[in-house]
Structure formats: C-alpha cells, structure tokens
Amino acid sequence: MKKIILFLVFAILSFPSLIQAQEAKEIDYSADRNIQDQKYPGAFVLSKVENQVYFKHEGIEVWCDLAIHYKEENFFRAFGNVRMQQGDTVKLNSNYAEYNGNSQFAFASGDVVMKRPQTTLESDSLFFDRLKQQAYYRSGGKVIDTGGVITSNIGRYYMEQDKYSFVSDVVLTNPEYIINSEQLDFYGETGHAYLYGPSTIESETSTVYCERGFYDTRGDTGYFVKNSRIDYDNRTVKGDSLYFNRNTNFASATNNIRVIDTINKSVVTGHYAEVFRDKDSVFITKRAVAASVQDKDSLFIHGDTIMITGKPDKRIIRGFYDVRLFKSDMSGKSDSVHINQETGLTKMINLTSGPVSSVDKKRSPVLWSGLSQMTGDTIHLQSNTKTEQLDSMRVFNNAFLIQKDTIEGYNQVKGMDLVGLFEDNELYQVDINKNTETLYYSRNSEQELIGINKTLSSSIKILFEEQQIQDIYYYQNVDGNLTPEEDFPVNVRKLIGFNWRGDERLLTKEDLFKGKPEPDLVKIEGISLPEESEEFFDERDEGDDLLLNDKSRLKPEDLQNRAKDSIPQLKEPQTLMDAVDDDTKTEAKNLQERVKDSIPQLKKPQSLIKAEEQEDNEAEPETKENQDE
C-alpha cells in the first residue's frame, strides 16, 4: 500500500515536468567529434569523422557533415550533405539546414531536393513547418512527377493531403503538352491538377483554354469550365463545360456550344457536342443549328442531330429528324439533309417512300422559294462552289409545285421529276417531265380571272418573273382546256396529292425552333474555387514558441508573406547555381578549418595516436638519436 501511495505522489509531482517535456522535447544527437568554439558561445560544434552528425526529434531525423548545436535552446544549424527524413514518406537533401525543436520549424537552402513517393521538389530554399505539416518556397521551384515537370515562383506543399499549390507563372511541361496557369493545385498521389485563372494546355494538335479546369496528368483527360474552349488547326469548340481525352483525341461539350469551322466559315451551335479529331468529325444535338455563309447570306440548318465529317476541303454536313433550312430568300423542311461542301450539292431526303393518295398526305421534303412551294420524295439543290449562289434544283418522284394565286385558289403543277433553274438565287424556270398535270388560274393583263386551265401533257416548261408564273408551255400529248370559273367544280380544284404547307413556312431564323419545346439542359457540375488557406507564416498564438531561434541565419522579416523573393528562379539553372548562399558556404568552410586545427588528425582517436608514437620510439632508437644530432 505504501508503495502505491509513493508511486502516486511521484506521478503527481512529475506530471508538470512530463507536460513540459511533451511541449518541447529535447533534440537527441550523436557525433564523432564534439568541441566548443568561442565564436559560438553556448553551442557545441559537431563534426563528421567516420559517420555523419545525427539528430533525431519527434519523428524527424537529420544527418550532416557539420553542425552547430545549441542544446539549451533546442536548436541546431547543419552544414554539408544535409539529409532530413520524416518517416518513410519525406526525404530532403540540401547544402544547409536549420531546425528549431521548440517550434518544429525547419529551413533548408542550397540545392534543396525533397522527395515523396510520387514526386520530387527542387528549389534553392524551402521552409518546413512540421506542426502544420506544410512546406513552402517563394523564390522559384520545380516539382517532378510522372505526368510532367511543374515550375512556379511560389509553391506550397500540404503533406497530409499530398497536395501542391503553385502560384505565379505556373508552367507544367509534359512531352505531349505544356500547361500555363495563374494557379495550379496538384495532388501527388493521383496526378490530378486543378487550374484557376486564365490557363492554357498547348500541344502540336490543339490548345485548350479555360479559367477553371481539371486535368489528370497521368490519364491525360480533362474537364474545363468558365469560358472554356478547344482550338484545333481548323476548328474551335466552345461550351459551358468541355471534356477532353488526349489518348483518343476526343472532346465533348455541354450547354451553349459553338463549333466554329475557320476554313469553311461555318458555325454549329447546340447543347451537346462530340468532336473526334482523328476522324475530323463533329456530332451535335439538342437544338442543333449549322450556319454557313453563302453569297454574303447565311444558310441555317436545324435538326435533332447534326453531323459534320471530312477534311475542310471535303466537308460533309448531315442533319437528321425534322430538319429545317432557312435562308433570307428560301426555306425548307425534310426528314434529313446531306450537304457536300466540295460539290455544292444539298440533298433533302425523305426516309419513307411510296405512292401519294388523296387521303394520306406524305410529309415529303418541302422547299419554299419566293411564292412557290415545291415537294417531292427527294429534293436536290445545286450551288455554284465559286459564287456560292444557288444554281439549280431537282425534285425526284412525285414532284409537286404549288403557288398561291394572287386572289384566290392555287396554281398547281405535278409530274414525276422537276428541274428548276435559278439566277441571283431567284427561281426563273421550271421543267417538269413525265405525266405532267397542271391546274392554273388564267388572268388577263388587268388580273381579271379568265378561267381555270387544267391540262395533261408529257412535259411542261414554266417561266417565272418576279416570283410569279409568267408563261406555261406544254409539250407532247397535250390534253386540256380553259374552263370558266363558274363551270369548274370546286371539289376538283385540287390535283391528287395536293398538300399546301404554307403555315409551316419559315419566315425568320427563329422559326427553326417553331413548335419545339426548350431543351432540358444538363446542370453543369462546376469546379469550386480553391479554399483560402491561412498564411504560411501566420501569427503565433500567445505563449507559443517563435518559429525562429535568435541564432538562426534568418531574420524575422524573412518570415513575412511576400509575393516572391529576389533569388533567381529555376528557369535559369546557371544563375541559380551562382546564387546559392555564399555566406553559408564560407561559414561552413571556416568552421571545418577551426575544428580541424583544434583537434589534430581527426580521423584517428587520440589513444591510437599515442600508441603508434610509443611503438615508433621503441622500434627505432638509433634513428631518433641521429635525427636529434
């Protein structure tokens, strides 16, 4: 019982001292030589003979050739081949280092190299706060990773997160690309990089720009938001968000997309797009519109899906499902469209075919030019590739031309095939072949109705003037007559297959989307701004130890948070080598000389030296006497 009481008393009396020891544990050390020097009062000068000087404190180990150790102040300065190691994950080499055991704050300079399992950091100077587990440089640094080499003016490393935060003139260099950014956060374990501020990723085949983005430097994939775009040799892709895969040369864009063809002067817009660079193709949907310049006018093509394929000189544009075309002097609709920009041929295609009956009105391709409506199973428009003006058109199978009469009724022409000719983008002649049939409201010069003419023939030629039918010529096997209006039954004033679709006509660009609901846009998952970290050299709480010891080579003003130091950056290797602290080198050299002078033959213990001298005296007495004479 007495033993237990004595133990409790001893424990209570020792408790304050245990707390104090935990607050500032003493630095352990070992050295081959240990001397005192008047130049460093209160310190021991430790030096290497066979083994390097060794320090250990709170999980960190330090080796060096020479050191000044202030035991009472729990502080040391290390010179020559300095190595620091924290556990198995952090290894640091430098020419000089110092460490404050009370604040667990370290500083290294001269060819600093800090190695982690995935990355290596190089700088001319580095601050290391072990309580925060953070390292910091502001005079230029370089981080080497499997995904590339990153340089910056300022860098901060968060060990617990394995995260680097680079600021000011950040450059990531990879054999395949170069990243420039105002700020780049890099995670060593994953190789993930986050870009903030105006940033570019440049390669031989593309340039990515964004003001906020993510890039996987090992997987070579990226995600970019805020004013993001990708520039290829002849195409630019813009969108609210972009995905990029360098391995497959694939990119996708979401919401408010613009794909600009810089060679063919065309723009495709929509809300989802995929770009395959190797195939030189673009797939776009969700309110997709392709716009191109033709004869100083713009042609707009809208469809559920638009695909653009082929090299610039052989571009093919395809539109699918409820395709609509609009130009200031022409518009149309079809199930799909195929445009060959090399030949100037546009095909308006109906995916279904079959006979037209008076009951079932097929939704054939339709084209409006002036006052005329033309339909058929397929419509071809031929443009002049040099002048970019509409040259001709052809309607295959079940061709039907309708023009609303100026007063009442509809002028109608039908046949198997139709060929139209244009001048200055205006229809001036139409030829219809095979089993043609017309129904025409004939008027005199005073626009008074003379009668209704219904005629059958083998072929017909129609001439237009100012978008109105001017003359009609019938050829071979003509059968028809002019009938007064009152004698012409109302129920036969429309030819079989008649389908007036004037209410569908596109009068403005906005009619491309007439009757269609707004697309349901995907919510963009943005990239958050970086968290604001406290300053690396933050103010210590009252009662905390100061970061620096008064024996440090640093001054308090050196711990002020500055944008950058005046020490040259790593972009100039030779200048940097010349800029290594000469004072540190000189001090270490002088210190080594004093240690060497104060202890002769440092590499042999004193007992060994005396033993050797005694053996020499006993073995050669005559020789010694001769030397004395």
DSSP element (H, E) containing 274: strand 266-276
Q: Which residue has the higher pLDDT, 353 or 93?
A: 93
Q: What is the pLDDT of residue 360?
A: 45
Q: What's the rounded mean pLDDT across residues 325-338? A: 90
- Cβ-proximal residues to 264 (8 Å cutoff; 6+ apart), any chain: 292, 312, 315, 341
d(CA 523, CA 505): 34
Per-residue pLDDT tens over the stretch 215-270: 999 999 999 998 999 998 888 999 999 999 999 989 999 999 999 987 877 899 99
d(CA 501, CA 445): 29
d(CA 376, CA 334): 10
Q: What's the rounded mean pLDDT across residues 523-545? A: 72
Per-residue pLDDT tens over the stretch 356-379: 444 444 567 999 987 889 999 999
Q: What is the pLDDT of residue 542?
A: 52
Distances 530 to 172, 227, 526, 533 between C-alpha atoms, Å: 19, 18, 12, 9
Q: What is the pLDDT of residue 560?
A: 67
Q: What is the mean pLDDT of the chain?
A: 82
Q: Provide, rounded to the nearest whole percent, the portion of the chain with pLDDT above 90.
A: 44
Q: What is the pLDDT of residue 125?
A: 92
Q: Which residue has the higher pLDDT, 542 or 18?
A: 542
d(CA 64, CA 48): 8
Q: What is the pLDDT of residue 352?
A: 60
pLDDT band at residue 133 under the 50/70/90 scheme: very high
Q: What's the rounded mean pLDDT across residues 314-323? A: 89
**Which of 241-250, 416-425, 530-539 is predicted with the least confidence, judged by mean pLDDT?**
530-539
Q: What's the rounded mean pLDDT across residues 180-190? A: 92
Q: Which residue has the higher pLDDT, 119 or 8?
A: 119
Q: Are 175 and 202 in contact (CB under 8 A)?
A: no
Q: What is the pLDDT of residue 171?
A: 95
Q: Indicate the SS3 state at residue 572.
A: coil
Q: What is the pLDDT of residue 63?
A: 97
Alpha helices in 89-190 (DSSP H): none
**Which of 36-45, 99-108, 442-451 is predicted with the least confidence, judged by mean pLDDT?**
442-451
Domain residues of the chain, as ranges? 23-100
Q: What is the pLDDT of residue 26?
A: 93
**Which of 11-25, 41-55, 287-301, 387-401 is predicted with the least confidence, judged by mean pLDDT?**
11-25
Q: What is the pLDDT of residue 262?
A: 79
Output the CA torsion 585→588→591→593 (10° steps).
-70
Of 416, 410, 417, 420, the residue nearest 454 (C-alpha) = 410
**Which of 154-163, 220-229, 347-356, 569-578 is predicted with the least confidence, judged by mean pLDDT?**
569-578
Per-residue pLDDT tens over the stretch 439-479: 988 888 787 888 898 999 989 998 988 777 788 888 887 88
- The model carries a pTM of 0.75
Q: What is the pLDDT of residue 277?
A: 87
- Cβ-proximal residues to 87 (8 Å cutoff; 6+ apart), any chain: 59
Distances 48 to 79, 179, 488, 592 between C-alpha atoms, Å: 11, 45, 122, 10
Q: What is the pLDDT of residue 506?
A: 93
Right CATH number for 23-100 from 3.90.470.10, 3.10.129.10, 2.60.450.10, 3.40.50.300?
2.60.450.10
Q: What is the DSSP string of 319-341?
A: EEEEEEEEETTEEEEEEEEEEET
d(CA 552, CA 75): 9
